[in-house]
Structure 1
Amino acid sequence: MTPNHAISRRALTKGALLGAAAGLLAATGAATAEARSSTHAAAAGGPLRLPAPTGPHPVGARTVHLTDPDRTDPWVGGAREVMLTVLYPARTVRGFPRAPQLTPAAAQVFADYAPHLHEGLPAPGTVDWGAVLTHGHVDAPPLPGRRPVLLHSPGGGDSRTLGTTLAEDLASHGRVVVLVDHPGDASQVELPGGMRTTVLFGPPDPATFRTMIDTRVGDLRFVLDRLGDLPLAAAMDLGRVGLYGHSAGGTAAVYATQDDARIRAVANLEGYLDLRPAVLDRPLLLFRTDGFESAARIEASWSGLAASRAELVRADHWAFTDYGALVPQLEAAGLVTPATRAALVGTGEPGRTRRALRRRVGGFFDLHLR
């Protein structure tokens, strides 16, 4: 399979790539986004907004680039690279800018991808995706002390910051959260050497899906190997590590946990487990929506597993991601239809869905990473 550096204009099959908002938290992009947020006016009367975290701590954000010389990238060859966003409780955020969800370059790529990834999302030029700010403050000093560590793997086709809202809330309650990008299957990842766009168009065949999951498992274990070398290692309690992931990321998180004693608990947010048998001796949360069209396959793949179970009601697959907050705003602005909103995130009240998600995932890790 060869890399794709240009954007395909053909419509993608529904479900081919599970989402696409992504970005690189960088100080240079933060200044641009801060300026845009005060001047850009969309149909809703202002830029899209991510909901604030609810914990007692402000959130710091740093980006990290890692290269694994021992693995070959299956999509483009050469040493495997990954990008991380590390979110953590901050001692202070005064004087440290809020990070954008997308850098200007990533926002431009995403604007072109979005309506092809999900039919009904706004056309290019309609939404200023680069104006969306996170609640993480770039390079803010960490709060003293060691905290539990959570690694997050996004859905297939997603870049890491589509999980920003949940991750920031988890960090604000006293955890270090590491968002992991998976270049090659992610819609776009901004690496130091340039933008990597997805090589996947159309639903992956079984062999490609296996490569995708095996690569993600390798990425997660490589990041686990390197946690002690990261700039924020002093803030991490490496004896209290958990994984969570959405869709393909949930699949990878469960399989990465098998045979890795460093991981104490794992949460799977609507990811299939039928690639191979899943046998776990650690706490497992299986979390699904009531609207996902592949519910029968999900349930069959989860059958027989000892796990805690939870369900988001009046919700659909991407309610686990930042689309849960962004798509209802697009609908209120008249930029997506009610049918598009229902197909992506469901019809439930966004705040109620978000509170249920945060409470269930946070509570699970509180219980098992004490």
Structure 2
Amino acid sequence: MTTNHAISRRTLVRGALLGSATALLAPAGAAPAGASTAGPAGVPLRLPAPTGPHPVGLRTVHLTDPSRTDPWVGGVREVMLTVLYPARTVRGCPRAPQLSPTAAGIFADYAPLVHPGLPEPGEVDWGAVLTHGHVDAPPLPGRRPVLLYSPGGGDSRTLGTSLAEDLASHGRVVVLVDHPGDATQVELPGGMRTTVLFGPPDPATFRTMVDTRVADLRFVLDRLGDLPTASVTDPRRLGAYGHSAGGTAAVYAAHDDARIRAVANLEGYLDLRPLDGPDPFGRPLLLFRSEGFEGAARIDSSWAGLRAHRAVLRRGGHGAFTDYGALVPQLHAAGLVTDAARAALVGTGDPAPTRAALRHRVGDFFERSFRS
């Protein structure tokens, strides 16, 4: 069931999956807390620390859905999850790296192909980047809201690590969902599985991709009671959010499943299929786009008439909703990313206030939604 595809510099197309970014994959293992984050070029890449009062625990989960056939490679559908949660203590629990050594090598090859302007292979040690999630830390007692995250098209789940860690540090359980087949790489128990998609998807392929993601999200909701954090989750406070194609999937999942009480769409198109009127599911909806997104006209058209909370990430670009918002400015400062590439990837804004605005807007949205 695990497939591996050689990367062709002639066939991998920029923006292969509708404005997506390449993935950073969270492995099941962990790196020592004091591991260096300096790459071959001496660039100390760091993810920003979460701002909440709680340390963050991390567990990696593999699930199989015997009721579905994987649409890309056949066989039983598999998904990988990273579960982030407020921890009671993190003593003796190492911080997880963002990529395993194998995933880091794949990412290094893919990154400059999907997003021209990112460093070439060998220029950055992507495997040295640490998350702030502590592996297998015991969860803080108490019932917590649960948020499911679907990444951008082609992305692996932990390109959303920084925002998810911040949400978890403020008392939520956040489940990052991988979607094997369209993600550039997903590390399954049976081995590394790479994308089957090259080049922009036609409408039918994109529909399959989003429908598969919607089914993945609903399957994870069905299995929340089986996750290692089941004792601290509140099934009455379930939300979903996603970036780009993941935002599209999160909205359609909420449309189809009343268990999702609030949904945040971070720059995902909503013209895949009609929604039911201006208030399609009668629950809180956040529509959040960046000021610099090249697909703004289509975003505005597909969001027109919907009753929702709306926000704009000033001086941000499409990738500013992801961990690229923190990593690309560091690469730019080190001379490994040009001015033009930085602006195209994450916008021109100062990363600290841009990140603060994103974290506050998404966190406040879910906080208010679950109080209503």
TM-score by length of 1: 0.96
What is residue 10 of structure 2 aligned with on the other side? 10
2:58 maps to 1:57 = no
The Cα offsets for residues 84-135 of structure 1, whole Å up to 9 and x where unpaired, read as 0000000001111000001111101101111101001111011000000000
2:330 maps to 1:329 = yes
Once the two structures are superposed, the pairs formed by residues 203-214 of structure 1 within 5 Å of their partners are 203-214=200-211
2:94 maps to 1:97 = yes
Superposition deviation, residue 339 in structure 1: 0.4
Could you tell which deviates more after superposition, 258-267 or 234-243?
A: 258-267
Q: Matches of 1:143 and 1:301 in 2, distance apart? A: 40
Once the two structures are superposed, the pairs formed by residues 105-184 of structure 1 within 5 Å of their partners are 105-184=102-181
Q: Matches of 2:259 and 2:99 in 1, distance apart? A: 32
What is residue 339 of structure 2 aligned with on the other side? 338
2:255 maps to 1:253 = no
SS in 2 for 1:366: helix
What is residue 24 of structure 2 aligned with on the other side? 22
Q: Matches of 1:263 and 1:250 in 2, distance apart? A: 14
Q: Matches of 1:26 and 1:231 in 2, distance apart? A: 14
Q: Matches of 1:36 and 1:357 in 2, distance apart? A: 28
2:194 maps to 1:220 = no
Q: Matches of 1:184 and 1:284 in 2, distance apart? A: 28
Tell me the amino acid that sits aligned with residue 349 of structure 1: D
The answer for unaligned runs of 5 or more in structure 1 is none
Q: Matches of 2:192 and 2:335 in 1, distance apart? A: 31
Q: Matches of 1:42 and 1:105 in 2, distance apart? A: 17
Q: How many residues align?
A: 364
Q: Matches of 1:176 and 1:156 in 2, distance apart? A: 23
SS in 1 for 2:35: helix
Given that residues 254 and 268 in structure 1 are in contact (C-alpha distance below 8 angstroms), is that contact kept between their aligned partners in structure 2?
yes
Q: Matches of 1:226 and 1:41 in 2, distance apart? A: 39
Q: Matches of 1:296 and 1:354 in 2, distance apart? A: 24
Q: 1:82 aligns with which of 70, 79, 83?
A: 79
What is residue 284 of structure 1 aligned with on the other side? 285
SS in 2 for 1:7: coil
Given that residues 39 and 123 in structure 2 are in contact (C-alpha distance below 8 angstroms), is that contact kept between their aligned partners in structure 1?
no
Tell me the amino acid that sits aligned with residue 162 of structure 1: L
SS in 2 for 1:190: strand
Superposition deviation, residue 21 in structure 1: 2.8
Given that residues 22 and 189 in structure 1 are in contact (C-alpha distance below 8 angstroms), is that contact kept between their aligned partners in structure 2?
no
Superposition deviation, residue 259 in structure 1: 3.1
When the two chains are superposed, the root-mean-square deviation of aligned CA atoms in Å is 1.4
Q: Matches of 2:114 and 2:11 in 1, distance apart? A: 8
Tell me the amino acid that sits aligned with residue 21 of structure 2: G
2:364 maps to 1:363 = yes
The percent of aligned pairs where both chains have the same amino acid is 78
Given that residues 59 and 136 in structure 2 are in contact (C-alpha distance below 8 angstroms), is that contact kept between their aligned partners in structure 1?
yes
Q: Matches of 1:161 and 1:235 in 2, distance apart? A: 22
Superposition deviation, residue 160 in structure 1: 0.3
Q: 2:183 aligns with which of 180, 183, 186?
A: 186
Q: Matches of 1:34 and 1:80 in 2, distance apart? A: 37
Superposition deviation, residue 42 in structure 1: 4.9
Given that residues 330 and 336 in structure 1 are in contact (C-alpha distance below 8 angstroms), is that contact kept between their aligned partners in structure 2?
yes
Tell me the amino acid that sits aligned with residue 19 of structure 1: A
Superposition deviation, residue 7 in structure 1: 1.6
Given that residues 25 and 61 in structure 1 are in contact (C-alpha distance below 8 angstroms), is that contact kept between their aligned partners in structure 2?
no
Change beyond 3 A, Cα 1:98–1:3:
closer
The Cα offsets for residues 170-212 of structure 1, whole Å up to 9 and x where unpaired, read as 0000000000000000010000001111111111000000000
The answer for unaligned runs of 5 or more in structure 2 is none
Q: Matches of 2:219 and 2:333 in 1, distance apart? A: 42
The Cα offsets for residues 134-154 of structure 1, whole Å up to 9 and x where unpaired, read as 000000000011100000000
Superposition deviation, residue 35 in structure 1: 3.3
2:247 maps to 1:269 = no
Q: Matches of 2:331 and 2:210 in 1, distance apart? A: 32
Q: Matches of 1:299 and 1:321 in 2, distance apart? A: 21
Superposition deviation, residue 47 in structure 1: 2.4
Q: Matches of 1:177 and 1:318 in 2, distance apart? A: 20
SS in 1 for 2:58: strand
Given that residues 316 and 348 in structure 2 are in contact (C-alpha distance below 8 angstroms), is that contact kept between their aligned partners in structure 1?
yes
Q: Matches of 2:39 and 2:228 in 1, distance apart? A: 37
